[in-house]
Structure 1
Amino acid sequence: MASQKLQASASNQLDDMQMDMSPMIDMVFLLLIFFMVASTMITQRKDPDVVVPIAPKGQDVKTAQGRITINVYSDAVMKKKGRNTPYADVNSVELTREGITRLVEKERLANEQVGTKSILYVRGDQAAIVQHVKTVIAAAAKGGVNDVIFSGYSRKVGQ
């Protein structure tokens, strides 16, 4: 008789036992928020003075890691802004040919230390002279970067 009462009380306890999931859900959301806040966004600043051309067959670049951005301005923007050279880095700081080589070499070495391959990202204005783009590519090659991607829209902005 005592064993029947013991079995009955034990089975009732097992039926009533449930796990409270709310602390686990709270912890998951806290971890999610922590990783969102602690992570760094990899973004590239875009110069509003560079109007990139439309490339109907263009593809979006998958990653911004290792990207070395050089802007190439048109003659009209150079005159408007009072620039001496049509070249600038991602922060719109004016560069010379030698400055491009030094910048590319410095960025390439920094990327190699973290194990990232360097890629030259040329943001050329649609009215820029092709020779200026060639100069940027040649200067980057002297800095040790031979992989080049070009900026362009796959369709007109606003469509």
Structure 2
Amino acid sequence: MDVELLHSINVHMEERGSSSSAYVVPIKRIFILSDDTEERCVVVAIPQTLNKDVDVGHKRIYVDVRTTPDRKYRACVMLANGAVALTEAAVAGAAPLQYGRLMIVWMFADEIAASEYPFLDAANEALQRASCLIDTHAHPELRSANLHRGTKRTVIEVFDTFDVDGYITN
């Protein structure tokens, strides 16, 4: 893995004072590959969370509409057994439908992990429907509670997204 890039992401997170952000990165850059793939992955940086607190091995994803702190609605893909809400902007930036998978690199407080989630037409269509629903019917009933379904655990919401092509943009 490109340790320098991961360090840059950590510095960027510290400078912003953010508890969670997503960075869309060419997969050949993060994993230092020599092939010509255009595939991109998402680095989910959650430096205040331990790896044991997120089930990154759980492969089922679903779509939910979440409310941002400034009360805007965002279509999100729910990862890690519903523990993490990843904004549509990060997913779209990675273009997972082209490769049939969504690659995630997790940056936790205690370690770095990687996960691969199947991403097929049904997931893409669900994300598009949620986005359209937000655009046309932004009603209070869309508002999701900020709790993990069926538990008292808070969902980690990752709304801030940055595109990394050799540098980090704001």
TM class by smaller structure: under 0.3
Query: Per residue, is there more helix in 1 or in 2?
Result: 1
Q: Which has the larger radius of gyration?
A: 1
State the TM-score, normalized to the length of structure 2: 0.24
State the TM-score, normalized to the length of structure 1: 0.25
Query: Per residue, is there more strand in 1 or in 2?
Result: 2
